Structures are given as structure tokens and as C-alpha cells.
Structure 1
């Protein structure tokens, strides 16, 4: 996996005196930015490909049709799954009030998508009294109104839990029980259960379901059928998968695809 090396604090979008600035960049398969932060809040969006964004508190799988709000000063790393065509926005402090104080996945309407693309076509120092100003005002309104979606998978800090998480991310369909994972992670099932609750506020089964649904969303975004995505993440029943997916994200797997 190759790494993109740049100083995020020196890019023009961090310096320009405008409420928001657009940023366009394409990433190849397996590229990553490395851990970094920005002085301005970001809306990370990709018109193609799946972004995996790590933050100290959670992993976010961000397929097309979704965007991730990253607050200013929040450390994060972006990893590409497939070719990623990123079209991001940077928000000056006064404009960032439309977002959250924590990372959040947003549903991107057809209007917001076109507004982001239009902003990318504007010069960096766009006319505040002209088209650029109108776009910025409408973008702010759409971001504020966008639905917030539970696409985040709580991050794990304990080394034993990290080993379990890395294995499940590779094989989300694994049916191993917590007792069986205990033998592989070097801790008792009781200890692992206690750590899951302490670090994520949820039990192992719920955390695993959250991971599986996030991975399924990535597969659907890459063109997998709902049945194939369900099987790949460990659901033997397509209806059960559909019900769980809709309960978590408010849309059906078919709509997500």
C-alpha cells in the first residue's frame, strides 16, 4: 500500500480567505495519506471508489453517495479501496458551524453532489458576490440538512482486540465465537467481553454486526449484488441481511448499490 506524502497544512485550500474551498484529487488502489490533520474542517467525498477513513475513535467506510465530515484538528488517515476520485471541501471556522464537533457520515443528495462538483470547477478565490458565493451558501444549507448515518465502526485500542478486529476485517464472514477468539487473542472470553464494553459501549456481537454491515456497504458500492454482499459478510439469509441493513442505514441494500 503506497503512501501519499504531502504537508496538509501548506495546501492552498487551508490558506485561502473564503468560507469554503474545493479540493480534487484521484488516488490509485491501495494508496493512503498517512495520519494527519487539518486546521479546517473537511467534507470528504468521492465520486468514484470507496474511502476507508481511520480516526482515533472509529473506522468509517465511505462509499459513493456518502461523505464524511471531519472536524478541524481531527487526526485521520484516508485509505483507498479501488480507484478513488476524491472531491473534498474545506470549511473555514466560521463556515464549519454547519457540521459536527465529531466525525459523521452524511448522506449526499443529488443536489449536493452537483454542488460539490461545481465548487471544484470554481477558481480557488471565487467571487463572493457571484456564482461562487451562491454555490457556497447552497452547499452550507445542504450540508446542514444532510442526514447523518451510522457508518462508523468503533475503533479498538487494546492489542488483543486489535488482532481480533484485523482478522475480522479480512474475513467478516467468520463465525468464530468470542470463546473461540479468546484462544487466538491471548485473553479469556470474559476479558474480551469486558474490553469490548469498556472501549466501544457495545458487546462483541453488536460490534461485529456493525463491522459486517459497513463492509457490506463497501461491497455494494463496488457493484456486488445484495445476495453476494450478504454472503461475503456472513449472512446466510438475504432477508435477514436486508432487514439489518435497513435498520442500520435507513435504506435497502438495493438502494445502497
Structure 2
């Protein structure tokens, strides 16, 4: 079976039919889930604000109008950056063949979000042919969605993990790589080489990425651009805006406007 084509008989089989399940969730509280996994694949999206998904491979930040795909049996934890309004779609493993095999943030199209909203109204129990056709639309939209790189990869070396954790605790900490190496008891050259090999980023680029992904969450919570820049340790607002635009293709203010649409 081709990756981009699902045999309708799989969706409408007899014993019993396989299909998706969509759920809308709204809460006045922060949503936080401990490490867990599902037998199904899960697509998670936020209607407002942003959510952060943690896996052993790193963290993914998911602003509104985006979603994150988590494959079946993939351990993950979740936290919203404020009161949670969002949705989840659960997809049986047999229908996940054409979908990514590792977590991935995508842009959730208007069609995808509308189809999920409709699917979330379905009652439990057998589903009609029309519902299976809409499920196919959701599958097609996920497979065709634009992928975005809102991922902060995690190093594997225990010493580098200590550094990475401490950096994310205080992103305004401007210690140099040499100072961090001394703090962790590792040679600077070793730190530099291992960080690049294990994360795909230089130490400086990784720290910059950690700051910018945190900026997505802070902006989603309504903080001003100036406040975000200073809280993340940037010397001036212009440097923050330039780094943000280079990474995400839009200024912080423009990005916030897009999320609000």
C-alpha cells in the first residue's frame, strides 16, 4: 500500500472498522501530563497559546495554528503555557504507515482544523461511510501538511544533559561555552565536539534555539517583545528581533499577529 494512499476498505472493514477519534479539550487550568504513551498515533494542537511536548529526543514547541504528531508508543509529556484550549486526534497504528515515524510539528491547515472540529462531535460507536471519508481527509491533510522545525534536540551525554537542563532553567544566563565546560567538568573542545555531534547544533546555536523556542511560548502568553528579549538575556531588542526573524521567517510581532488570526 502506497504511503500516501489508504485503502478505503481498511477504514470500512468489518471486524470492526478502523477509524480516528477526535477530542476537543478546554480548561481554565494549565494542562500538564506526565510521561506516557498511547497505542495509537496522536496529533495534538492548541487553539490558543502554545504547548510544549517533551520526548527523549528533545522538546517541541507548538504555537496555535500548529500541531505536533506523536507516533504510536512514543513516550512523551505535555504542558500548556496557560489555560488549555486545544484538541487531540488518535489514529490506530494500522493507519499510521504514511505518517512520520518521529515527532514532528506541522502547520494545521484550515481544512484540517475544520475536519477535526467536526470529527470531535461524533458519538462513540460505529461510524458511517461519510465519517470514514472525513477521517480520510484528516489523514490526507496530516500527510500533506507543511513541516516546521520547532524542535530543540536533547544531547545524550550526561554532562551535556546537565548543561542543557541548567541553560533551559535560566535562559538569560550568558556564561560562555568555556565557563559551562568548567562548570560541568568537561574540556571545552570535547563539549563543542559532542554538542554538535549529538544535537546537530553548535553550543551557541543550540542555546540560541532554546531561547527562541521559549520566546514562542512567552509571546503566545501575551508578553511584550521587549520583555521577552530582556528576559531571555539579549543585550538589545534589535538582536532578538533579527535572530527571531532569521529562524522563523517573521518578526516577533508579525508572528504573534499570525497566531491570532
Deviation at 1:57, TM superposition (A): 1.0
**Structure 1 segment 17-28 matched on structure 2, within 5 A:** 17-26=17-26
**Structure 1 segment 1-257 matched on structure 2, within 5 A:** 17-26=17-26, 32-125=32-125, 127-130=127-130, 132-257=131-256
Deviation at 1:149, TM superposition (A): 0.6
Give the paired residue count.
241
User: Is contact 1:151–1:214 with CA below 8 Å preserved after alignment?
Assistant: yes
- Give CA deviations for 1:206-252 in whole Å, capped at 9, x if unaligned: 11111111101111111223333233223334444333323323343
Structure 1 stretches of 5 or more lacking a match? Answer: 1-15
The 1:34–1:17 alpha-carbon spacing in structure 2 relative to 1, beyond 3 Å, is: farther
* Larger deviation, residues 225-234 vs 145-154: 225-234
SS at match of 1:224: coil
User: Is contact 2:29–2:83 with CA below 8 Å preserved after alignment?
Assistant: yes
The 1:247–1:134 alpha-carbon spacing in structure 2 relative to 1, beyond 3 Å, is: farther
Deviation at 1:45, TM superposition (A): 1.1
> Which structure has the larger Rg over C-alpha atoms?
2
User: Is contact 1:61–1:218 with CA below 8 Å preserved after alignment?
Assistant: yes
Deviation at 1:22, TM superposition (A): 1.0
User: Is contact 1:34–1:78 with CA below 8 Å preserved after alignment?
Assistant: yes
The 1:201–1:113 alpha-carbon spacing in structure 2 relative to 1, beyond 3 Å, is: same
* Larger deviation, residues 189-198 vs 51-60: 189-198
The 1:246–1:137 alpha-carbon spacing in structure 2 relative to 1, beyond 3 Å, is: farther
* Larger deviation, residues 237-246 vs 198-207: 237-246
What TM-score, normalized to structure 2? 0.81
* Larger deviation, residues 88-97 vs 101-110: 88-97
- Give CA deviations for 1:57-83 in whole Å, capped at 9, x if unaligned: 121122222211111121111123322
Structure 2 stretches of 5 or more lacking a match? Answer: 1-15, 257-261
The 1:30–1:119 alpha-carbon spacing in structure 2 relative to 1, beyond 3 Å, is: same
Measured on the aligned residues, the alpha-carbon RMSD in Å equals 2.4
User: Is contact 1:33–1:78 with CA below 8 Å preserved after alignment?
Assistant: yes
User: Is contact 2:81–2:221 with CA below 8 Å preserved after alignment?
Assistant: no
The 1:35–1:256 alpha-carbon spacing in structure 2 relative to 1, beyond 3 Å, is: same
- Give CA deviations for 1:79-103 in whole Å, capped at 9, x if unaligned: 2332223310011234324521111
SS at match of 1:48: coil
